[in-house]
Structure 1
């Protein structure tokens, strides 16, 4: 709930209504008008209480998903998000049964967001007996009538923000602070008043007015006055009207076509159409018209509120309400059918996109001809963007000369109907199509930059690209029948990336490659490829060469011409004995020799390597020489050794002084080389699935991540010893970088006794240690044991006294965790110092993972005097510390505490936030008490004087910036 104005109290109300202490199954609805914050509240409630449930699922945008997909696909998504594997769902009745059978014995938290029809509820959460005791189903909707057929226990109506909340939210967007700049106070109050307390309108308007001159504010006010409070879209359109023509076009494209699509994908298409996409999208994000959504596995997609999406589509429809042929964009199947059937001149439409697979099949059935329907776009004179993904019953009769981007995945055609005229195409994507030959002879496509024919299983040869001078990328992945590469490719001067992965029929590439701009060449899994081409002297740009799983016997001597090579993958080239000297590759950083069983040493000249991978599944006698030659690699930072270590010799890895990542997983040794303790920079050690490993050596204090899952032979006492020493070593070394944490996943069946505070499930209570002079000289080690083997795509979160305090991205837990593995995390007080009290509760939330037991232990830095010398000194001269509404007792009157500057600033910010609910006189009276706690070197008088002459609440809030500047200068002076 960080940075969410007015949310906390609403979340508390919803949680109270939902009755978490009751063991029955309960439905609850959250309803209100669009843009009021229903989804935001539901998401915050979900994140707050999810740890109390066995299975959780937040199913977003139910209305939109049901419009775009068959209900069975939505049912399957629900099951997938609860980590329940299921085969295809053939009809909605099977889906209902599968949901009931999968969840009826589990305590479930299910949020169905934006439901607009009772049938959606009927098919996704139809009856109470679908869910186990204690389950909670939360439904957000604009229409309370939708849930009347369901037995809903509680209904929460989301009201508009109160005036103070609305004012704060608006100011945070319009001024990036909590109060208006000079001269804008009255105008700000008027905007807030006319916005009706709607969070969406406040954010959009505030972002639009940010940095604008006062004349623009007056103009916006006039437009707002003309709209009634209920016409929110008219209010939102003010921000749209303030965009320039390019930004408007990008906004409309996203609203009509690209909501929910990957940012990189959309950016590339819009650039192909001639838009400055990167800048335009950033402006829309800054104006709160578009959001970035982080999906699982790191993909970033473009999000947009459904009201803004509706506004964008309405703007396009209003271009010509009764005649779709006069609209700029078409995304509705019926409209496209109408326009194409008219066969009349069309100068308005420039974009047509149909890529909804479920609706595609439906519309094709309605058209009646599943075998063929000829499409002609010759009358659409300005068509630039055409996407027909999945339309398998259509035949393209012509390609408009004006077309910039053509995407047609699963295209049924054998070739494209190019003529001799000149085309403006920038990108063609015909992935997984029936294309046999893209075009015949030469085609002049001077603007074409990207060509993707991946998965075209009938493609036998690449086209002649001699008249395609600006082609940058050519993807031919998994073209199983491809057996001929046109000679024009070997001499192309602009090609940057060529991907032939999985072209299993390809036997030869070319006699000689002279592609001077080529940077990436992927020949992985070209199983019949026996010979590499010679490389011309001009190929200095090639940086990544992937040859794994080919039948190449030897490397050409001209490989030395690739002076820019930084990554070379020779994995599974079993016959390679003496690869060419790597001395000429001065920039080579990554080398993969996995499965090169005949190799007896690291190739000569590889001393500059930063990453090396060696894998050998056989009892290879050459491995002795290979391991011995590692001493040459003094720059190595990442090493993967999946080999059979000879038991007769202890191998010294201590000379690899630059090594930060060491992967020894899946090895059969019983002991890890003890020399790893001598690696001064080692951060990550991977020993997963070393099932014969019995003992771990002492680990270096620099270690921050240890993975030893499924090491079944590890001695329990050794595990306990390793954990305690690793945590203690971390405390002493982490003071150099307070933002680091230590994470360990290791085989174990019970929490080690070293964790002196232990409790059931995922929460443990600990009192602050009495022998610690500061929260910055203490660390906390937490240990978790899981119930059963389980799987989750989501990262856990850390909670201290009810507040999340660490970024999920920092916690690197395996997605599949076995019940006989322990997860240990050790972190210092930097992360939670401003949340601590005398008695504390720490909790780790694992989505959809049940924690059996957890433990905790405080760790105090031994040499506190040295550590504290770089921190601002703070004298506590009172027995009571006021932190907002909470009081902390101080045992003695005169203690000297030491805090880093970040802690002091967080402390004051927390006080300012808490004080916002009190009168100016109370604030002023408490400020003096507060500031006597902070007496850093000869500056307290100036700060107290500054506060004393700031008598009003609004002026008081402005103090924070001044305090930050003063305290920062103090910290710099102290250091």
Structure 2
């Protein structure tokens, strides 16, 4: 089945002179070049202009790519499992997101076998690629994290693990064309006149929404039905209901419509008089439309009087409050927001109506920003367009600049209706969110806003004033600016008597002037990055704000308070005698608080969240204060902190972050009374030597002691621990009581240089999923245990002195499970293990055979195991074996790994710098790779219609010759074989590619190096099929730079059926290519690598085992004794039949023209 990415327009249609450029950001090691080559081909066919970094000259600096990003209008960002391991990709992403925020670039995120949640939250394998197994920090990590979190998932596409690549590629092209159409539409308004008729014809498709509404429900029944149309103010509920009313009014005898019900004082009397008392309603089927119902009592009254309406009547109501219909009306339709294209068309219709001047590029960019601000709300778009219509560019800029805090008057009147219906508590909550907590966790916000018997957050969500998604609170831009404008001044008319200061000029004025008591201030938000100069708070100003609940002084230029904050000077100073009673304070966040402690008069009774990161405090406050409501405390990187006794009564504390408090020697004994404490972070507290008795911490789930270099004695503090990080501590052993941690998921002991042994009870941790022992250089053995860590998935033992792994941990229960075609149902040991790292171990001599039973094991790292001599049979699902620099390695098992149908697609076997690898071992590696590739190709052909864009199996090892069984060979990096007749029929499954590469002490950063080839297959009667094909290389996560020296062999086995399908798309189904041009090259994240050379290359066709071609086209020669003679790239002898590699005798070759005639007949 061909990939349907062909253009919809006729090829004769004249294309616009200007077309947007698409910048493609991806990690080649994950997608390989097959998918990208198909993408490039589809983009070309659809006349879409694109840029990819391989188009840039060799060695180009990344600044050149930044320029290309700025020149582009669309960015395709492919997020894959190891994307975040590439600093090059991440730096590009930061630049892409900068341009997106400026409004000059549209971003289409592609989630390639990863989920948006994993990418934005840096979770699972994606998080491992970013941070490493130990959550490492890299220099530009904050910028990368911010860029990942800012990804606009609304426009994203997701490819699931087993989804069809061909269908997904078609979706990608469709999405690019949609965005391109928007950009071309914008561009069209640079012409001298605007086609108002064209714009009017393409206004928001209410008919489409009407169709969605009517398709959802059955209207042709004799049962009285009530339908509800719900949505935010201005979304088009009334318009949609009127269209439905107009369509149906002719089908019934009686039609009643009552608009603006929220404005009626006596709703019940009104309904009886205008509707229910009408005799016709009781005797004839009626269509009744009730607009803007706002109270649940209205719905109850309607339901209680349905007996007065003729059976079979239809009633449609609209409401902006879901709570008033919940549990009463089950037929509901929520009107969706306009998509980007619809919103832009509506805005332009109103903004450019009847104007005859040329609109500049700035108008186009500002239009998109206004559309983004509107959030797909039709009324907002219409009002903004009308306000801007006829104004010049400067006026547009001023209005745009004021949008975040100044709402359009007409829009404001519409929103005011919803706001006025709120209770006082709901109004408070709405304004607090708009001014201070627009994007916040629901649990955190609910605690801050909490008052007796209130559910403000969910109430606001029901009224479409906020949205709650994945436990995150969000508020639309328009509602945020409306709320900020209301919150800035005292709203006495609402009897709230409070104001919220978020404008830095007003904040400075309020904190420095002498204007007496100001009881109206409810919250203060100060972004110090906006300050032009330093200032000092008046001694008594905070004391004159008795109703202050929220005080946040922060730096938006560094939202994560990274180490850069340390070099930024404090801009807000306080006098020594600062008065700060603040009896109502709930939230205090003060970055770089300049004093040694909070004032003695500070009242913490209502305090819920205290954040003083990078502060100068030595203790929080003097003496002990009641803190019954305190849940969160962040004192991270307060390097002078020595005393925590102020928290002795914080019995409700849930999270305590003390990371980087280097002078903190101990925790107070009363810490054990914090029974609600779930998270305790002491990372980098280098003076901390021990913890007090804390047996009562029954809620503690995460304990982080990473880098506590003075900490030498760990005792179990909570049996409910799930994450325990002891990496970088001085502990010598783990206590026997560790077996109590039956819920422990992660045990991190990395770089515990003094750790000499592990307790025998370690195997009893049956919930354990990650055991990290990297760098435990004194650790020589695993405990002998009869217990099973059946849930363990990650085991890191690099840098240890283990001589072997205990067989009872690795072995299967029954030896007869060796030939199973599916995972063992019952097994001993690490049956779920996925990642095993043994790198840097100088003690292991042989890798034991019991590893072959680990069906789920996908990654084995043996780098720098200097004494490793032999590798036994490997497990069947292995995705990567990295044996780089195993200088003593001589032999591998035969077969190298179990051969069976497996769950994963590609495999990589890396033996770089293994100079002692024997010839027989190299033959086994190549032969296994071939058979594995063939098996995977056959599986793909059955289950995924043969389409795969990755190398199925890749291998590399030291050597200087192309294996003899390769049918086509040549010197240098170019190969031009003549393909034989019928080569792609009856049993053909793929191709094998080989490159001999000479390295001169090649240093590889970020473990990224790829050998690939550019292929051009053609026929005398057809045009070329041009594509990239991967051969192999290095792509797994690696923190250290590695070096490759001498000459190496790279062999890749890849599926061919995807190329066949591309030919079918091109209309070449009748003819198979008879000539090929294959050029090999070595690349990394930057581009082509120049300080290495491809000396030789090879190419062979691969067929199914037992096929007619595999049997009839081979000679009977002994394995390993094959030879071939290549003259002018023509093969004259066939090699190694038992591996299934086939080449064609010279006499069978025919011309391309004969091939065409033969296949067509």
The interval holding the TM-score normalised by the smaller chain is 0.5 to 0.7
Matched, 1:347 2:376: no
Q: 2:628 maps to which residue? A: 446
1:517 Cα deviation after fit:
0.6
* Partner Cα distance (1:193, 1:745) in 2: 59
Aligned match for 1:55, one of 50, 61, 78: 61
Sort the Cα spacing of 1:337 and 1:83 in 2 relative to 1 into closer, same or farther, 3 A.
same
Q: 2:767 maps to which residue? A: 587
Deviations 1:446-478 (A, max 9, x none): 343222222222222323434323322112223
**Long gaps (5+) in structure 2:** 23-47, 71-86, 104-184, 216-238, 245-337, 353-362, 450-455, 492-496, 556-567, 812-827, 1016-1024, 1109-1154
Alignment of 1:199-238 (within 5 A): 221=382, 224-225=385-386, 227-228=388-389
Q: Report the TM-score when normalising by structure 1.
A: 0.57
Larger deviation, residues 431-440 vs 643-652: 643-652
SS at match of 2:699: coil
* Partner Cα distance (1:202, 1:302) in 2: 21
SS at match of 1:433: coil
Sort the Cα spacing of 1:533 and 1:577 in 2 relative to 1 into closer, same or farther, 3 A.
closer
Native 8 Å contact 1:645 1:669 kept in 2:
yes
Aligned match for 2:678, one of 476, 482, 496: 496
Q: 2:502 maps to which residue? A: 330
Native 8 Å contact 1:553 1:576 kept in 2:
yes
Native 8 Å contact 2:968 2:977 kept in 1:
no
Aligned match for 1:160, one of 189, 202, 207: 189
Q: 1:135 maps to which residue? A: none
Alignment of 1:337-416 (within 5 A): 337-344=508-515, 345=518, 347=520, 350-356=523-529, 363-364=533-534, 367=535, 376-380=541-545, 381-389=547-555, 392-396=570-574, 397=578, 398=580, 400-416=582-598
Aligned match for 1:194, one of 350, 354, 357: 350
Alignment of 1:74-85 (within 5 A): none
Alignment of 1:448-467 (within 5 A): 448-467=630-649
Q: 1:635 maps to which residue? A: 831
Native 8 Å contact 1:670 1:693 kept in 2:
yes
* Partner Cα distance (2:473, 2:463) in 1: 13
Deviations 1:813-871 (A, max 9, x none): 879787878696846756994685358999999653225689896866638999xxxxx
* Partner Cα distance (1:172, 1:812) in 2: 48
* Partner Cα distance (1:805, 1:326) in 2: 66
Deviations 1:620-648 (A, max 9, x none): 5x724746764352424132224334447
Native 8 Å contact 1:257 1:331 kept in 2:
no
Native 8 Å contact 1:478 1:502 kept in 2:
yes
Sort the Cα spacing of 1:460 and 1:656 in 2 relative to 1 into closer, same or farther, 3 A.
same
1:521 Cα deviation after fit:
1.4
Sort the Cα spacing of 1:176 and 1:348 in 2 relative to 1 into closer, same or farther, 3 A.
farther
How many residues get paired? 725
Native 8 Å contact 1:350 1:382 kept in 2:
yes
Aligned match for 1:706, one of 893, 898, 908: 908
* Partner Cα distance (1:762, 1:343) in 2: 82
Native 8 Å contact 1:273 1:384 kept in 2:
no
Alignment of 1:422-433 (within 5 A): 422-433=604-615
1:347 Cα deviation after fit:
2.8
Alignment of 1:536-685 (within 5 A): 539-571=718-750, 572=752, 574-577=754-757, 579-582=759-762, 584-594=764-774, 595=776, 597-599=779-781, 601-611=783-793, 613=795, 615=797, 617=799, 623-624=803-804, 626=806, 630-631=810-811, 633-638=829-834, 639-642=836-839, 643-647=841-845, 652-676=850-874, 679-685=875-881
1:419 Cα deviation after fit:
3.0
Native 8 Å contact 1:431 1:453 kept in 2:
yes
1:530 Cα deviation after fit:
3.1
* Partner Cα distance (1:565, 1:543) in 2: 4
* Partner Cα distance (1:167, 1:692) in 2: 76
Native 8 Å contact 2:975 2:1098 kept in 1:
no
* Partner Cα distance (2:691, 2:543) in 1: 38
Sort the Cα spacing of 1:159 and 1:399 in 2 relative to 1 into closer, same or farther, 3 A.
farther
Sort the Cα spacing of 1:819 and 1:601 in 2 relative to 1 into closer, same or farther, 3 A.
closer
**Long gaps (5+) in structure 1:** 17-42, 64-79, 85-107, 117-155, 293-299, 867-889, 897-975
Larger deviation, residues 381-390 vs 313-322: 313-322
1:421 Cα deviation after fit:
2.9
Matched, 1:690 2:883: no
* Partner Cα distance (1:824, 1:442) in 2: 69
Please say which structure displays the higher CA radius of gyration: 2
1:484 Cα deviation after fit:
1.8
Larger deviation, residues 483-492 vs 748-757: 748-757
Deviations 1:368-400 (A, max 9, x none): x8xx98684344544524123456253443264
Native 8 Å contact 1:428 1:450 kept in 2:
yes
Deviations 1:692-737 (A, max 9, x none): 5456653455473426385363769837666655543432344466
Alignment of 1:36-115 (within 5 A): 47=52, 51=56, 54-57=60-63
1:496 Cα deviation after fit:
0.8
1:218 Cα deviation after fit:
7.8
Native 8 Å contact 2:844 2:868 kept in 1:
no
Q: Report the TM-score when normalising by structure 2.
A: 0.49
Alignment of 1:721-736 (within 5 A): 724=930, 727-735=933-941
Q: 1:70 maps to which residue? A: none
SS at match of 2:525: strand
Native 8 Å contact 1:597 1:616 kept in 2:
no
* Partner Cα distance (1:515, 1:780) in 2: 60
Sort the Cα spacing of 1:394 and 1:329 in 2 relative to 1 into closer, same or farther, 3 A.
closer
* Partner Cα distance (2:730, 2:520) in 1: 54
Sort the Cα spacing of 1:811 and 1:722 in 2 relative to 1 into closer, same or farther, 3 A.
same
* Partner Cα distance (2:1052, 2:898) in 1: 17
Native 8 Å contact 1:600 1:626 kept in 2:
yes
* Partner Cα distance (1:793, 1:647) in 2: 25
* Partner Cα distance (2:1026, 2:460) in 1: 39
* Partner Cα distance (2:595, 2:872) in 1: 62
Alignment of 1:768-807 (within 5 A): 771-772=983-984, 789=1003
Q: 2:121 maps to which residue? A: none
Native 8 Å contact 1:586 1:608 kept in 2:
yes
* Partner Cα distance (2:210, 2:1029) in 1: 23
* Partner Cα distance (1:4, 1:276) in 2: 47
1:437 Cα deviation after fit:
0.9
SS at match of 1:471: coil
Larger deviation, residues 269-278 vs 701-710: 269-278
